[in-house]
Amino acid sequence: MEMKLELVPVPVSDVDRAKVFYTEKLGFHADNDQRLNANLRFVQLMPPGSACSITIGEGITRQKPGSIDGLLLVVNGYSGSP
């Protein structure tokens, strides 16, 4: 049996602002952005070179915005300081 982790929900307080940050600042590709109903919006964002996406939106998780802990984004060739 083969298993893959392909989608991680990331709770955010402002979906549009987070989408701009991930796409314009970090270079993620917006794979999907759909409002399914008044309470459910699903935005899927893929980091360049990754097989795993993140999802942000409305009504997709009960986690509080900013509460995700331990998500690591590995960046090759980064030479700046934190």
Kindly report the CATH number that applies to the domain delimited by 7-58. 3.10.180.10
**Annotated domain spans of the chain:** 7-58
Per-residue tens of pLDDT for the chain, all 82 residues: 999 999 999 999 999 999 999 999 999 999 999 999 999 999 999 999 899 999 999 999 999 998 988 888 887 776 666 6
Closest CA to 66 of 19, 22, 10: 10
The pLDDT score that the predictor gives to residue 80 is 65
The pLDDT score that the predictor gives to residue 72 is 82
* Token pair recorded at residue 30: 């917006």
